[in-house]
Structure 1
Amino acid sequence: MFIMKDEEPFLLDDPARLRALAHPMRRLILRHLNVHGPATSTTIGELLDAKTGTTSYHLRQLEKYGFIEEIPERSGGRERWWRRAEVPRDMRLPTPDQVAPEDRAVLAEFHRIGMDEDRVLFDRFPEAYRRDPQWAKGSRGLGWLTQAEFDEFFEAYMALLKKYSHRPEDAPPGSRPMYLRFFALPADED
């Protein structure tokens, strides 16, 4: 389980939890549960074209590290229903120097898988914008910032996410699940 202090950033520096999230199928499972709500290993397996045993294993791994939980009132017999567990809204990754040298490969893999997912979203953006520009927005920019200003900018961005995004159970009518991404890197290292 996650120990959460309301609205404080949670540093995901546990190598076992990072490993649990650094698996493509587990990330697909989490994405499905986040966007579509509760599901069984059978329904997830059908969606991901995977065997039920495989999805059951990955669901148990996600449960073990507190990312999902069983819904006992919906489960019965061999059918188990799963939902996303309450996790911190502001979950941050450690920097490489904050993890042991032997765990840095897991952190790198986590970032690699995440960027692969983001590339797919970026490829989908032009069509999403063409279909419904009110729900697909993008921005690109270049700015000169000091380290302190960049840190302040990032914290302001995180505050905006907290202010305007809702958990599914608290979302007002008319809300839609939205992929929101932020990344920044120095432009003078090209």
Structure 2
Amino acid sequence: MANRPTIRQLSDPGAHKALGHPLRQRILRHLGINGPATSTTLARALGENTGTLSYHLRQLEHNGFIEEIPEQSTGRERWWRQISADLRWPPAGEMDEESQKLLDEITEFKVDQELELARRFFTDHRRYGEWAKASRGLTHLTREELDEFFEAYMELLSRFRRTPEDASPSARPIFLRFFTMPASEDPPS
């Protein structure tokens, strides 16, 4: 069973910039799904050149999102893995203008990915058989209860978190999505 990853509050503008690049998002997604890789294997998988990948890998390493695997690295071939962390953005009111702009850019980039995943689920769910699960719900919660619900969800996610290296041979990478918002358009109080 996996340990709960460290909660990392993303308050550093450098971390925001590191995450704000679409190629770096693709690198993190690839490492999360496929496990450790070199700049060469990533370049091949992502259709980029190794020089470009090496630069972006160094930026992700510098900002604590990936790490080198020394026991696998030899000579010029460096192996990288994603660092398991529960990444959380600070509340909007606590971010400076530049960080908020970067978060907006990252969110815009991710919206297309999330919409594509939703489309894929609703058009292909029969193809995935028992691997496709969905749930929707509506409840009435106070802000404190919503916070408690979110932390319980994060605990459950941590309980089942596996890296590609830790997963059972019969495991498959599974996308999980969770978001909450008020059901009405009225501004939250």
| 1:12 paired to 2:10 | yes
Provide the aligned C-alpha RMSD in A: 2.2
Letter of the 2:60 counterpart: L
> Cα gap change, 1:33/1:141 in structure 2, threshold over 3 Å: closer, same or farther?
same
The gaps in structure 1 that reach 5 residues or longer are none
Q: Which residue of 2 aligns with 1:129?
A: 125
What SS does the aligned partner of 1:133 have?
helix
Letter of the 1:9 counterpart: I
Q: Which residue of 2 aligns with 1:83?
A: 81
Normalising by structure 2, what TM-score?
A: 0.85
* 8 Å Cα contact 1:33-1:39 kept in structure 2: yes
> Cα gap change, 1:84/1:91 in structure 2, threshold over 3 Å: closer, same or farther?
same
Q: Which protein, 1 or 2, shows the higher relative CO under an 8 Å CA cutoff with sep ≥ 6?
A: 2
Alignment equivalent of 1:45, drawn from 24, 34, 43? 43
* 8 Å Cα contact 1:96-1:107 kept in structure 2: no
> Cα gap change, 1:187/1:6 in structure 2, threshold over 3 Å: closer, same or farther?
closer
**Alignment length (residue pairs):** 184
Normalising by structure 1, what TM-score?
A: 0.85
Shifted more, 175-184 versus 144-153: the winner is 144-153
Distance 2:63 2:177 in 1: 24
Offset, 1:59: 0.9
| 1:111 paired to 2:102 | no
Distance 1:35 1:130 in 2: 22
Letter of the 2:34 counterpart: H
Distance 1:76 1:9 in 2: 32
Q: Which residue of 1 aligns with 2:136?
A: 140
Letter of the 2:181 counterpart: L
* 8 Å Cα contact 1:20-1:61 kept in structure 2: yes
Q: Which residue of 2 aligns with 1:175?
A: 171
* 8 Å Cα contact 2:18-2:24 kept in structure 1: yes
Per-residue displacement from partner, 1:21-71 (whole Å, max 9, x unpaired)?
Answer: 121111111111111112121221122111221111111111111111223
What SS does the aligned partner of 2:131 have?
coil
Identity %: 52
Letter of the 1:156 counterpart: A
* 8 Å Cα contact 1:40-1:79 kept in structure 2: yes
> Cα gap change, 1:186/1:6 in structure 2, threshold over 3 Å: closer, same or farther?
closer
Runs of 4+ in 1 over 4 A off after TM superposition: 5-8
Per-residue displacement from partner, 1:99-151 (whole Å, max 9, x unpaired)?
Answer: 12332101222222222221121121134411123111112223222222222
Q: Which residue of 2 aligns with 1:27?
A: 25
Distance 1:14 1:117 in 2: 25
What SS does the aligned partner of 1:60 have?
helix
The gaps in structure 2 that reach 5 residues or longer are none
Distance 1:145 1:43 in 2: 46
What SS does the aligned partner of 1:9 have?
strand
